[in-house]
Amino acid sequence: MKYDKLPDLKILDEKEKVLREQSKEVTFPLSNEDKKIIEDSLTYLEMSQIDEYAEKYDLRAGWGLSLIQLGIKKRIFVIAEELEKGKFKRYVVINPKVLSHSEELVYVGEGEGCLSVNRDVEGIVPRYARMNVEAYDIDGNKYTIRVREELSICFQHEMDHLDGILFVDKIDKKNPYKNMNKMREI
């Protein structure tokens, strides 16, 4: 995939108060502006995962982005999952609701990251290994998706953003690796 230029997105830092606010339910149809932001966000994420562009534009790799991270308080997030080198599966997730989740908990071994958290953070974030989520696509069609492993973690991370929660809030301050032995590392 060839990209012309990096989309001009201003990703907010964790110090910005708006990241702590609740995003609002979205009504359809989406505006052309919202559709463009969704497209730009997906392009940005894809470029951030391709070494050539990451180096050229000094990007940290990101899988997901919630519109609240751009200062837009709408219950929308996007994920660009690299399936193989340079090939991505795109997810547009609007007004998501968790229908069910596994009992099993997992965590990211090297720790979670966030495009809004520009510092190293020690500790693990307990996440469900699997979830069924109901959401709407860019055209307002309702769908249900089953997400597992890394994708499940990514969905939970982005859904937290919609509620004003950052992954750092979920790390136990006194014991950052609390209950690690009760969860599976991925």
Nearest Cα residue to 43 out of 62, 56, 69: 62
Backbone φ and ψ of 49, nearest 5°: -95, -5
Q: How many residues does the chain have?
A: 186
Say which range, 1-10, 19-28, 54-63, has the weakest mean pLDDT. Answer: 1-10
- Structure tokens of 133? 């989520």
Is the distance from CB of 61 to CB of 54 less than 8 angstroms? yes
* Residues 49-72, mean pLDDT to the nearest whole number: 96
Structure confidence at residue 169 as a pLDDT band (50, 70, 90): very high
The structure's pTM equals 0.95
**pLDDT reading at 59 higher than 80:** yes
**pLDDT reading at 156 higher than 90:** yes
* Residues 150-168, mean pLDDT to the nearest whole number: 98
What CATH class has 17-185? alpha beta
Query: How does pLDDT run across 67-99, given as a tens digit for each residue?
Result: 999 999 999 999 999 999 989 999 999 999 999
Predicted local distance difference test score (pLDDT) of residue 87? 94
**pLDDT reading at 1 higher than 70:** no
CB 30: neighbour CB atoms within 10 A? 21
In the numeric block, the tokens 């609390």 are attached to 178
Cβ burial, residue 121 (10 Å; 0-12/13-18/19+): middle
Predicted local distance difference test score (pLDDT) of residue 101? 98
Catalytic residues: 158
Q: Which helix (H) or strand (E) holds 32?
A: helix 32-49
Structure confidence at residue 112 as a pLDDT band (50, 70, 90): very high
Nearest Cα residue to 91 out of 78, 103, 82, 109: 78
Predicted local distance difference test score (pLDDT) of residue 4? 85
